[in-house]
Amino acid sequence: MMVLLDQASVEGLVAAVNGTMLVLAIAGTLATLGLLIWTLRTAGSERARERPRQDRRKGSSSDRRDPREALALVGDALAATHNPRVLLPVILEVITESTGASGGQIFASGREVGWIGTVGGSDAPTLLLPLGYTADGDTTLLLHSGDNGFSSETKELAEWLASQAAVALENARLHAVVQHQAITDDLTGLVNRRRFMDALQAEIDRARKFGSPLTVVLTDLDDFKRVNDDHGHHAGDDVLRAFAGLVRSHVRDVDVPSRIGGEEFAILLPETDSADAASVAERMRHSLSVVPVPVGEHETVRMTSSFGVAELVDGQSGDDLMRAADTALYAAKAAGKNCVATGTSAK
């Protein structure tokens, strides 16, 4: 049966349909916006809360390490390395296991540098233990207790072990300081003669094994006594420090610059032949000759330096190579100073 509608009825029906679609469209938009807001809030809260991490190397909390064994392990590590960065993982593991903690984290200057076990994502109590000062800054150990918390006895044990670990780290730091002082020239910060000769012998052995070139450069500040006489010994120290900085700026990380005594310096250049070494020396010579060196607040001095270059040859010892470089240095002095000599020829 066909129903006929007049014009007014048709217009009313269209208006009703359009109104319904508008309502549905608005409702759909609101629902979409609500879902989006809920999703963003959920994601934000997840990011705000640290997610738990688990290290499978960590055993169960019941597998506790005997405290005496823990101290022995730290002591063995100290005897083997005297390196705080190697000691820290040992300390982290043995204290975490000895206390039955579910996990542990090491922080240096507030930055995590190591962790073990299960950490984060829990409201269970934690225990923060100071480990003293290392090269990376103030160092602490954060133990995570798991669901059961730490007993007073466990806390005392953790604090005692941490205090012993701090002593080990301090001993390692002091050992590094003493070792550095033993091989470093106090005034310039370059290595001293003893360390240079050790490095020279090691590089000679390597050069012979691989058939690579090796060169030594000796350099001596020209008329250095004049600086001390005219301006005082403090000015001489300023000149030596400035020249050491210049030398350091012209060498590679693999090279070994050294102050071997007085105003004399030596530079070990692995995998470098005499021609390339002479080029390096020439750049140093030029840099020193064109830049005045400050001595005190308002004075400067002009300095020059002579250089002797010698490349390792078959059958030479370290002492032989040093004598060859010294002979070249004397040739540079005899040629008028402020020059580079390789063998017997001055440039």
Which residues are the active-site residues? 263
On whether the CB atoms of residues 302 and 243 are closer than 8 A, the answer is no
Backbone angles phi, psi at 56, to 5 degrees: -70, -15
Two tokens, residue 302 = 């002009």
Question: What are the Cα distances from residue 135, in Å, to 76, 155, 267?
Answer: 21, 27, 28
Centre a 10 Å sphere on the Cβ of residue 312 and count the other Cβ atoms it contains. Answer: 23
Using DSSP's 3-state secondary structure scheme, residue 174 falls into helix
Two tokens, residue 316 = 């030479």
On whether the CB atoms of residues 269 and 280 are closer than 8 A, the answer is yes
Question: Tokens 């064994």 appear where?
Answer: 69
Helices 67-81 and 84-98: crossing angle, nearest 10°? 170
Mark 146-179 as b/e (b = at least 16 C-beta within 10 Å): beeebeeebbebbeebbebbbebbeebbeeeeee
**Backbone conformation region of residue 110, classed left if phi is above 0, alpha if psi is from -120 to 50, else beta:** left
Angle at CA 251, nearest 5°, toward 245 and 252?
Answer: 125
Q: How far apart, in whole angstroms, are the C-alpha atoms of residue 83 and residue 95?
A: 18
Report the greatest alpha carbon distance in the chain. 128
Two tokens, residue 124 = 């269970």
Chain-centroid distance, C-alpha 205: 28
